[in-house]
Structure 1
Amino acid sequence: MRLRLPEERPTEPPTGYKIAHPVLSHDGARAGFTGVSLGGALPYGVLADASCVYGLRHTAPHRRCDCGFHCVHDLATAEALLCTAEHRSAALLEVSVLGRYIRFERGFRYARQRVRTATVGPCACGTVAAALADAGWGRPGWRALTPSCAGCVRGRTSLSLADFARLAGERLRVVAGAGNKIAGLDPPEGLGVPELTAEAALLQARLDWFQAQLARLGGQGPGGPPQG
């Protein structure tokens, strides 16, 4: 006799947590995410259906396959995944588990999901992220994005957090995180002299870069000779 797992019929979709890299389509018209493990080659939108990554025709998730979306039950478990070097620039996602799912000790494997909130980490320089910029790698047709402050964006393709949420659609909420604390989209209050000095230095570096680009293109930078 084959044992069957107990069926669950929740009144509301279960909540799960996972990490993924934000991505932007090559034409700049769509935004989404790409996973960090088995399904990483298949970017997905905020509201998406899973398919078998091995190309099999069964419905995901299948008991005898690894296909389907994956997430964990506990927020702290997902946050711990961000500690590894290859996942430092990934975003922390809060998702609604939709459709059929298989429950495991630490999480779900499931058929459909809606990403409700994406929390991005700080810029590589340590400043709270203000944008998502080209990370220098991607998938066919998609550019991976990494958190960046205004001073480190420079000339890279980038989106503000609000613009990424708008392109992704489905009422996605994107917030900037500082360490394990969600900082929101607004600048932190109560900055002291050292923090304000650092911000001013970043802005000056950004201005210097723009002036250098203008000079390279033959434009007239501040204090430079007039161009004939």
Structure 2
Amino acid sequence: MRLRLPAERPTEPPTGYKIAHPVLSQDGTRAGFTGVSLGGALPYGVVADASCVYGLRHRPPHRRCDCGFHCVHDRAAAEALLCADDHRTAVLLEVSVLGAYIRFERGFRYARQRVRVVTVGPCACGARASALVDAGWGLVGWRALAPCCGGCLRGRTSLSPAGFARLAGDGVRVCVRAVGGGGGASTGPGGVTAVGAADGMGVPELVAEAALLQARLDWFQAQLARLRERGSGSASGERNS
């Protein structure tokens, strides 16, 4: 006798959580994500259909395969994955599970998804992130991005959270987690502040863009000050000789 899983027909798409690395296309016109394990070589957008990473001609999620998108039910379980060394620069995604799916004890394996919310963690130095910068690795045609504060930008290719949301499109929201769970008036539950949306530039988006521009200006001013000091030192040395 062949056992069958019970069929589910939810009135609205289930919600799941996962982690991924944000990526930026080589020409800087598109933004998306890449997984941290199975299928990590296949970047995907905000709305995407899964494909079999083994190249088999069946529709994900196949019962006898590992193909399909993966997510967990519990947000805390997804956040725990960010503690692993290889995942420290990843972001947390809140997704809508679309199409066919298989439910497991801890999560889903499914055919289609929509990324609704992206939560960006702190910079590697521990400060609150104000941008996503070139992480120093990537895939063919795609640069991986990592959270970064204004003080650590140092002229690297960067994108504000609002800019990432705009390039990713499809109504995705990008939020920045406040360090230590704190925050100002615009901070929501869990110390997370919404700073990006794809439907135009509002006040939060403009504030984020201004913070990024200010951080770049501070970096350039610091470099100019160093060059002036070198120039002054060289000039005084020539006079003394």
Q: In the TM superposition, what is the alpha-carbon distance from 1:38 to its structure 2 partner?
A: 0.4
| The one of 223, 226, 237 aligned to 1:209 | 223
Q: How has the CA–CA distance of structure 1 residues 205 and 162 changed in structure 2, closer, same or farther, with 3 Å as cutoff?
A: closer
Are 1:20 and 1:91, in contact at CA under 8 Å, matched by a contact in 2?
yes
SS of equivalent residue, structure 2 residue 44: coil
Q: In the TM superposition, what is the alpha-carbon distance from 1:224 to its structure 2 partner?
A: 5.9
Q: In the TM superposition, what is the alpha-carbon distance from 1:2 to its structure 2 partner?
A: 0.4
Q: How has the CA–CA distance of structure 1 residues 141 and 203 changed in structure 2, closer, same or farther, with 3 Å as cutoff?
A: closer
Could you tell me how far apart the structure 2 residues matched to 1:210 and 1:224 are?
10
Could you tell me how far apart the structure 2 residues matched to 1:87 and 1:210 are?
35
Q: In the TM superposition, what is the alpha-carbon distance from 1:223 to its structure 2 partner?
A: 10
Q: In the TM superposition, what is the alpha-carbon distance from 1:204 to its structure 2 partner?
A: 5.8
Q: Percent identity?
A: 72
Determine the structure 2 residue equivalent to 1:22.
22
Q: Deviations over 1:152-174 (max 9, x none)?
A: 11111110000000000011100
Q: Deviations over 1:103-131 (max 9, x none)?
A: 00000000000000000110111111110
Q: How has the CA–CA distance of structure 1 residues 39 and 11 changed in structure 2, closer, same or farther, with 3 Å as cutoff?
A: same
Q: Deviations over 1:140-185 (max 9, x none)?
A: 1110000001111111111000000000001110011135633313
Determine the structure 2 residue equivalent to 1:198.
none
Determine the structure 1 residue equivalent to 2:49.
49
Asked if residue 182 in structure 1 is aligned to residue 196 in structure 2, the reply is: no
Asked if residue 163 in structure 1 is aligned to residue 172 in structure 2, the reply is: no
Are 1:151 and 1:206, in contact at CA under 8 Å, matched by a contact in 2?
no
Q: Which runs of 5+ in 1 are unaligned?
A: 187-201, 216-220
Are 2:155 and 2:219, in contact at CA under 8 Å, matched by a contact in 1?
no
Q: Deviations over 1:10-32 (max 9, x none)?
A: 00000000000000011111000
Determine the structure 1 residue equivalent to 2:67.
67
Q: Which has the higher helix share?
A: 2
1:26-175 matched pairs, under 5 angstroms: 26-175=26-175
SS of equivalent residue, structure 1 residue 83: coil
Could you tell me how far apart the structure 2 residues matched to 1:38 and 1:9 are?
27
Are 2:154 and 2:219, in contact at CA under 8 Å, matched by a contact in 1?
no
Q: In the TM superposition, what is the alpha-carbon distance from 1:209 to its structure 2 partner?
A: 2.9
Q: In the TM superposition, what is the alpha-carbon distance from 1:100 to its structure 2 partner?
A: 0.2
Could you tell me how far apart the structure 2 residues matched to 1:211 and 1:116 are?
43
Q: In the TM superposition, what is the alpha-carbon distance from 1:56 to its structure 2 partner?
A: 0.7
Could you tell me how far apart the structure 1 residues matched to 2:29 and 2:219 are?
30
Q: Which runs of 5+ in 2 are unaligned?
A: 182-189, 196-203, 205-215, 233-241
Determine the structure 2 residue equivalent to 1:10.
10
TM-score by length of structure 1 reads 0.84
Are 1:162 and 1:174, in contact at CA under 8 Å, matched by a contact in 2?
yes
Q: How has the CA–CA distance of structure 1 residues 63 and 120 changed in structure 2, closer, same or farther, with 3 Å as cutoff?
A: same
- Name the Cα RMSD after superposition: 2.3
Q: In the TM superposition, what is the alpha-carbon distance from 1:207 to its structure 2 partner?
A: 2.9
For these two proteins, the number of residue pairs brought into alignment is 205
TM-score by length of structure 2 reads 0.79
Q: How has the CA–CA distance of structure 1 residues 57 and 84 changed in structure 2, closer, same or farther, with 3 Å as cutoff?
A: same
